[in-house]
Amino acid sequence: MEQQGTHQVVNVLLLADVIGSTGYEAVRRHLPELQSRHQIHLTVANGENAAHGKGLTPKTASDLFGIGVNVITSGNHIWNQKSILPTLDENPHVLRPLNYPPGCPGRGWCEFEISHGLTAAIISLQGRSFLYPLDDPFRAADAVIEQCREKGIRIILIDFHAEATAEKAALARYLDGRVSAVVGTHTHVQTADERILPKGTAFITDLGMSGPVDSVIGMDTETAILRFTTQIPVPYRASTNASSCSGVIVRVRADSGNAESIVRFQLTQEPLKAH
């Protein structure tokens, strides 16, 4: 654990939506250096598009764990590959959004032991604006945060998979000071608004994507244009062009759970750099 002055600091790496095999390859290529250079203690990746651009399979989940991802979050596409359903029940570190109704497979949050006596909680949530009418993500977060407090867990990270910028910002403000970070996913476009909110929560509207750069949010360009110009529901397919690896690094105080910094990055095959 890194010592910062008189307190310990936990370095958390949060990776943007992994899109298909090329997104996976970008993460595989950059992850070791990211983890080494920034002394990462916990790596979380959104994997809901890792299998051919839509969904997650047991193999793609295993591949992500194999290259150093500790927890996989998701979103509305987690149900696209039916083979993942048993894994959602069996593996506590593969998450579906917490606020799906009771009876859905899997779980929406997990604990991860960073070191002896120090545990983090990771929560996967899904927004409701322009998406499905799920249970209230605000109240769902409240319930888990209360459980974490009772257990003495102070490092709490939330992946909020949502369409609307306002909904993401509202949740972050609502939880400011009660969680370590709220990071948005889903749009596949990285925003430049990373910040520490007044009460100590790190926030960014969207992490972007770890996927093909020469594409339409990770999907094949010609297919995407055809959908928009003809209105025919042609199935999307993931692009196979060179990919970027995107996300943020958040430094969190172990004692309070407050974030000290958030750094955004978007890496291609060029030398590593952070904005």
77 is catalytic: yes
* Helices assigned H by DSSP within 152-218: 165-175
> Whose CA is closest to 210, among 172, 239, 181, 168?
239
Q: Which of 7, 41, 52, 77 is catalytic?
A: 77
> CB within 8 A of 39, min separation 6: which ones?
2, 11
CA distance linking residue 49 with residue 255, whole number of Å: 35
Of 114, 108, 115, nearest to 159 by C-alpha is 108
State how far the Cα of 109 lies from the Cα of 95, in Å rounded to an integer. 6
Give the count of beta carbons closer than 10 Å to the beta carbon of residue 123.
26
Q: Tell me if 172 sits within 8 A of 127, measured CB to CB.
A: no
Annotated active-site positions, please? 77
